[in-house]
């Protein structure tokens, strides 16, 4: 009797193992993708309000270039760009929320650094905004360059950001003593700087430009021309789900490549008849690109149709809102910028 | 035998459940961390922190280790707790006694104070003192000198710094003053027990406390000078004070909010304690000819303290724990520096949060032990 039970269990176990392997091999589906499709929405971590990047309006609609990355993933995986649940996170909370599984994508103007990528269970999938740290001062202070900073200057910033580290490197290398005043929330940094607690406000230049719009009198402040660091900002995912990582990476890449080939939300459908095979692949008229992620073939078409290409997203969120009308480095490589993505093929 | 087993079984079951829950969470955390390639360890504490802190009691900058940054945060937390406890106790006792005043105006004012500050959320009060009250302060260049040497500005309170010479001799004189006060106190006690005479111990103590250190100034070579803060121009419109001692507005706002809030609870403890002593005690004490001050000091307070101490201990613990709200207004306490910046820079969430929790637990238990010891000391000793 016992012998049979033993045999039976080992047989069942073997079948189970085989089954597990075969399903793994057949549909190369990511666990995160499966959960996302089961829930019916993409769980996306964003900032607590940074105009142009991720900002909620009065009725709770999120807009911004960071938001558009999550919307693109939703369009690709769920067929509807609006199926995203946004979770506003402070700089301090963001990585814990991602590693603990509270969100599946962190798209929150986050700087890609070695230690973050390698050390704490995160994977950066790309760059959706090339930025650098700068300083904002009051116009009437007469300061026009960081070279005019003197000992005893007080600088407001956020805690838990690369900003804090860059600031130290900057002031240290110049031998200037300074008073760092670091808040947890961006709104409090702005309030403190605006009221005169600090002589300068330092963070990523895009952030400065965006926060300036929140000041009582935006015209009274200027952003100094110097950039003291490299801040490549991009979406982050948890380590350990390489398929999901690929989905997010290529959702972003598709947006950038669509701009390169001149595919917009308006002309995407008609592009199916294009002569160019690269364009046909991007709109799903040729090739089987989606199968690699366990998605259908129209995933990239949906991204372009529902969210638009990178240029459209930039124009809608950052240029037209007056935050940074000039695209600077965030221009396609073909037009003198540094946006260059691997080919989608 | 049966009864014994029946008693033990629930205990074992409880223990097993507790162990299971802990085991589950530990294993869960371990597997998840392993899956995501996160390593567990406290080795990061010796690494260079590479971030600066606004305000520190010990020497610190970014070239020191994370362990040093932890110490900076801890000391800043203890500083706020220490000042907060002192101010809230003094204020609480005064308000508590005022609530029992026969004077209608004093009693109502105290009652209003208690009800007002007790019923507004603490975080809101901290924001109020920081953003509303302190922001109303002048910019450094517009600040008027208070008593010629203090400058209260939006960038903080700038006070003269003491510059000592032969500070050690001064310390010894204070020590000597303390010892002689204890000797005199014992002598006064004996004198009263043996001969019924009373010495004005308090005035003598005060005298000693002032005269002895004063002598060191005159003949001991101790000297004290002040370094007065001087305004310095940073740019056309921004100024700051140099020299002297700068107390950041974040510290002032936090301490103020914590002290004012906690004082209301301590005031209620004090009032309850005094009211808890029956009226007959007071009348009896008065009837044997004690003065009102003596009644309060010798009869009412010793009994009231027994009621006051335990709930007040709670308030001290609350104040210490509430000081972690500092993160909201950029005061670099343990939570902001260590569980904030250090956690973000290293990504060691479990390690850092566990250290921080353990630290707060230790602080709270220490305060608890101290207050329990004091409570025991003043409790009625049955003979």
> Does A150 sit within 8 Å of B50, measured CB to CB?
no
A41 phi/psi in degrees, rounded to 5:
-155, 155
Sequence-separated (6 or more) residues with CB below 8 Å from residue A314: A65, A327, A330
Q: Dihedral sign for Cα B206, B207, B210, B213, please.
A: negative
Rg of chain A over CA atoms, in angstroms? 23
Q: Is residue B215 part of a domain?
A: no
Sequence-separated (6 or more) residues with CB below 8 Å from residue B317: B364, B367, B368
CA max distance for chain A: 93
Residue A180: which of B52, B154, B232 has the nearest Cβ?
A: B52
Say yes or no: B281 and B353 in one domain.
yes
In three-state form (DSSP H/G/I as H, E/B as E, the rest C), the secondary structure along chain B is CHHHHHHHHHHHHHHHHHHHHHHHHHHHHHHHHHHCCCCCCCHHHHCECCCCCCCCCCCCCCCCEHHHHHHHHHHHHHHHHHHHHHHHHHHHHHHHHHCCCCCHHHHHHHHHHHHHHHCCCHHHHHHHHHHHHHHHCCCHHHCCEECCCEEEECCEEEECEEEEECHHHHHHHHHHHHHHHHHHHHHHHHHHHHHCCCCCHHHHHHHHHHHHHHHHHHHCCCEEEEECCEEEECCCCCEEEECCEEECHHHHHHHHHHHHHHHHHHHHHHHHHHHCCCHHHHHHHHHCCCCHHHHHHHHHHHHHHHHHHHHHHHHHHHHHHHHHHHHHHCCCCHHHHHHHHHHHHHCCHHHHHHHHHHHHHHHHHHHHHHHHHHHHHHCCCCC
Name the minimum distance, in Å, from the CA of A106 to any CA of chain B.
15
Q: Is residue B187 part of a domain?
A: no
Q: pTM above 0.90?
A: no
> Does A197 sit within 8 Å of B328, measured CB to CB?
no
The verdict on B22 touching A (C-beta cutoff 8 Å) is: no
Say yes or no: B288 and B350 in one domain.
yes
**In A, which residues are within 8 Å of B343 by CB distance?**
92, 160
Say yes or no: B22 and B149 in one domain.
no
Say yes or no: B244 and B367 in one domain.
yes
Say yes or no: B22 and B153 in one domain.
no
Q: Is residue B43 part of a domain?
A: no
The verdict on B237 touching A (C-beta cutoff 8 Å) is: yes
Say yes or no: B285 and B323 in one domain.
yes
Say yes or no: B142 and B81 in one domain.
yes
Q: Is residue B186 part of a domain?
A: no
Q: Is residue B218 part of a domain?
A: no
The verdict on B140 touching A (C-beta cutoff 8 Å) is: no
CA distance A340 to A335: 11
CATH number for the region A31-130+233-335 comes to 3.40.190.10
Tens digit of pLDDT for each residue in B275-301? 999 889 989 999 999 988 888 888 888
Q: Is residue B28 part of a domain?
A: yes
Which class is A133-229 in CATH? Answer: alpha beta
CB B339 within 8 A of CB B353: yes
Asked if A31-130+233-335 and A133-229 have one fold, the answer is yes
Indicate which CATH number applies to the domain containing B373: 1.10.3720.10
Average pLDDT over residues B245-268: 94
**In B, which residues are within 8 Å of A115 by CB distance?**
347
CA distance A160 to A165: 9
Q: Dihedral sign for Cα A204, A206, A209, A211, please.
A: negative
Residues of chain A with pLDDT > 70: what percent? 92
CA distance A76 to A73: 5
Name the minimum distance, in Å, from the CA of A208 to any CA of chain B.
19
**In A, which residues are within 8 Å of B66 by CB distance?**
none
Residue B330: which of A140, A165, A183 has the nearest Cβ?
A: A183
CA distance A125 to A72: 14
Tens digit of pLDDT for each residue in B5-51? 888 888 899 999 999 999 998 888 888 777 777 778 888 899 998 89
pLDDT at A119: 76
Asked if pLDDT for residue A235 goes beyond 90, the answer is yes
Residue A184: which of B232, B235, B328 has the nearest Cβ?
A: B328
**Of residues A93 and A36, which shows the higher confidence score?**
A36
Sequence-separated (6 or more) residues with CB below 8 Å from residue B7: none
CB A229 within 8 A of CB A166: yes
Tens digit of pLDDT for each residue in A201-212? 999 998 898 888
Say yes or no: B286 and B354 in one domain.
yes
Average pLDDT over residues B348-361: 92
pLDDT at A25: 42
The total number of structural domains in chain B stands at 2
**In A, which residues are within 8 Å of B154 by CB distance?**
195-197
Say yes or no: B145 and B252 in one domain.
yes
**In A, which residues are within 8 Å of B35 by CB distance?**
239-240
Q: Decide the pairing of beta strands A178-183 and A200-204.
A: unpaired
Tens digit of pLDDT for each residue in A123-136? 999 999 999 999 99
CA distance B180 to B331: 41
pLDDT at B26: 86
Tens digit of pLDDT for each residue in A243-299? 999 999 999 999 999 999 999 999 999 999 999 999 999 998 888 888 888 899 999
Domain ranges for chain A, please list them: 31-130+233-335, 133-229
Q: Give the residue on A whose Cα is nearest the Cα of B135.
A: A195
Say yes or no: B151 and B265 in one domain.
yes
Angle formed by the axes of helices A299-306 and A65-78, to 10°?
Answer: 140
**In A, which residues are within 8 Å of B235 by CB distance?**
137, 141-143, 148, 150, 199
Say yes or no: B9 and B155 in one domain.
no
CB A72 within 8 A of CB A81: yes
Rg of chain B over CA atoms, in angstroms? 27
**How many residues in total does chain A contain?**
345
The verdict on B336 touching A (C-beta cutoff 8 Å) is: yes
> Does A196 sit within 8 Å of B154, measured CB to CB?
yes
From B81, B83, B59, select the one nearest B71 (Cα to Cα). Answer: B59
pLDDT at B239: 84
Q: Dihedral sign for Cα A266, A270, A274, A280, please.
A: positive
**Phi-psi group of B324: left, alpha or beta (phi > 0 → left; psi -120 to 50 → alpha; rest → beta):** alpha
Name the minimum distance, in Å, from the CA of A180 to any CA of chain B.
5
Tens digit of pLDDT for each residue in B93-142? 999 989 988 899 999 999 999 999 999 999 999 999 998 877 788 888 88
A79 three-class SS: coil
pLDDT at B226: 80
Name the minimum distance, in Å, from the CA of A152 to any CA of chain B.
7
Say yes or no: B17 and B105 in one domain.
no
A221 three-class SS: strand
Residue A182: which of B38, B50, B330 has the nearest Cβ?
A: B330
**In A, which residues are within 8 Å of B52 by CB distance?**
164, 167-168, 178, 180
- For an interface test with B, the pick among A115, A197, A241 (most B C-beta atoms closer than 10 Å) comes out as A197
**In A, which residues are within 8 Å of B238 by CB distance?**
138, 141, 153, 199
Cα separations (Å) of A62 from A203, A304, B89? 22, 18, 48
Residue B155: which of A149, A197, A240 has the nearest Cβ?
A: A197
Residues of chain B with pLDDT > 70: what percent? 98
Structural domain including B34 reads 2-38
Name the minimum distance, in Å, from the CA of A179 to any CA of chain B.
5
> Does A96 sit within 8 Å of B328, measured CB to CB?
no
């Amino acid at each position: 009797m016992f012998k049979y039970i033993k045999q039976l269990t080992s047989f069942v176990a073997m079948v189970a193992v085989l089954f597990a392997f075969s399903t793994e091999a057949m549909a190369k589906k990511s666990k995160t993708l499966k959960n996302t499709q089961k829930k019916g929405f993409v769980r996306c971590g964003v900032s607590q309000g940074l105009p142009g990047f991720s900002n909620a309006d009065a009725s709770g609609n999120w807009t911004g270039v960071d938001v558009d990355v999550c919307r693109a993933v939703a369009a690709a995986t769920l067929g509807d760009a609006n199926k995203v649940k946004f979770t506003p996170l402070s700089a301090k909370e963001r990585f814990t929320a991602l590693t603990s599984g509270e969100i599946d994508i962190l798209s929150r103007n986050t700087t890609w650094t070695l230690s973050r990528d390698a050390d704490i269970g995160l994977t950066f999938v790309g760059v959706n905004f090339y930025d650098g740290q700068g300083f904002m001062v009051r116009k009437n202070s007469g300061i026009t360059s960081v070279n005019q900073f003197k000992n005893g200057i007080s600088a407001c910033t956020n805690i838990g950001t690369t900003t804090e580290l860059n600031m130290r490197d900057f002031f240290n290398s110049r031998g200037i003593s300074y008073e760092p005043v670091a808040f947890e929330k961006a709104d409090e940094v702005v309030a403190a700087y605006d009221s005169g607690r600090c002589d300068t406000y330092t963070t990523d230049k895009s952030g400065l430009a965006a926060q300036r719009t929140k000041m009582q009198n935006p015209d009274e402040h200027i952003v100094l021309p110097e950039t003291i660091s490299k801040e490549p900002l991009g979406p982050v995912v948890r380590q350990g789900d390489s398929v999901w990582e690929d989905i997010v990476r290529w959702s972003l890449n598709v947006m950038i490549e669509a701009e390169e080939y001149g595919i917009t939300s308006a002309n995407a459908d008609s592009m199916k008849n294009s002569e160019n095979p690269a364009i046909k692949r991007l709109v799903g008229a040729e090739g089987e690109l989606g199968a690699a992620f366990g998605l259908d073939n129209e995933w990239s078409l949906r991204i372009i149709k529902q969210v638009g290409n990178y240029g459209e997203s930039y124009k809608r969120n950052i240029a037209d809102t007056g935050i940074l009308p000039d695209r600077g480095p965030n221009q396609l490589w073909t037009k003198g910028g540094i946006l260059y993505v691997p080919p989608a093929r | 035998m049966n009864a014994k087993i029946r008693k033990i079984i629930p205990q074992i079951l409880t223990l097993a459940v507790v162990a299971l829950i802990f085991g589950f969470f530990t294993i869960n955390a371990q597997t998840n961390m392993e899956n995501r390639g996160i390593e567990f360890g406290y080795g990061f504490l010796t690494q260079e922190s590479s971030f600066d802190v606004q305000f520190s009691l010990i020497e610190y900058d970014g070239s020191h280790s994370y362990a040093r940054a932890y110490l900076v945060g801890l000391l800043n937390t203890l500083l706020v707790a220490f000042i907060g406890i002192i101010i809230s106790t003094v204020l609480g006792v005064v308000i508590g006694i005022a609530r029992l005043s026969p004077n209608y105006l004093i009693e109502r004012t105290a009652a209003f104070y208690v009800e007002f500050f007790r019923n507004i959320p603490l975080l809101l009060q901290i924001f109020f003192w920081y953003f509303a009250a302190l922001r109303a302060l002048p910019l450094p260049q517009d600040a008027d000198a208070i008593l010629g040497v203090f400058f209260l500005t939006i960038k903080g309170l700038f006070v003269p710094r003491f510059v000592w010479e032969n500070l050690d001799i001064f310390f010894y004189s204070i020590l000597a003053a303390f010892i002689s006060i204890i000797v005199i106190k014992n002598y006064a006690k004996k004198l009263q027990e043996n001969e019924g005479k009373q010495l004005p111990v308090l005035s003598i103590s005060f005298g000693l406390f002032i005269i002895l250190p004063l002598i060191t100034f005159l003949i001991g070579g101790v000297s004290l000078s002040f370094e007065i803060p001087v305004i310095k121009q940073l740019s056309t419109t921004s100024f700051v004070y140099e020299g002297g001692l700068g107390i950041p507005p974040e510290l002032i706002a936090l301490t103020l909010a914590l002290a004012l809030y906690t004082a209301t609870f301590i005031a209620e403890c004090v009032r309850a304690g005094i009211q808890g002593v029956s009226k007959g005690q007071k009348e009896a004490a008065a009837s044997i000819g004690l003065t009102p001050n003596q009644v309060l000091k010798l009869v009412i307070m010793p009994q009231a303290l027994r009621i006051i101490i335990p709930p007040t201990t709670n308030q001290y613990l609350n104040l210490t724990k509430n000081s972690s709200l500092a993160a909201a207004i950029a005061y670099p306490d343990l939570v902001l520096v260590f569980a904030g910046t250090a956690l973000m820079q290293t990504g060691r969430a479990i390690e850092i949060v566990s250290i921080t929790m353990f630290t707060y637990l230790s602080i709270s238990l220490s305060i608890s032990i101290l207050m329990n010891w004091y409570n025991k000391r003043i409790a009625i000793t049955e003979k």
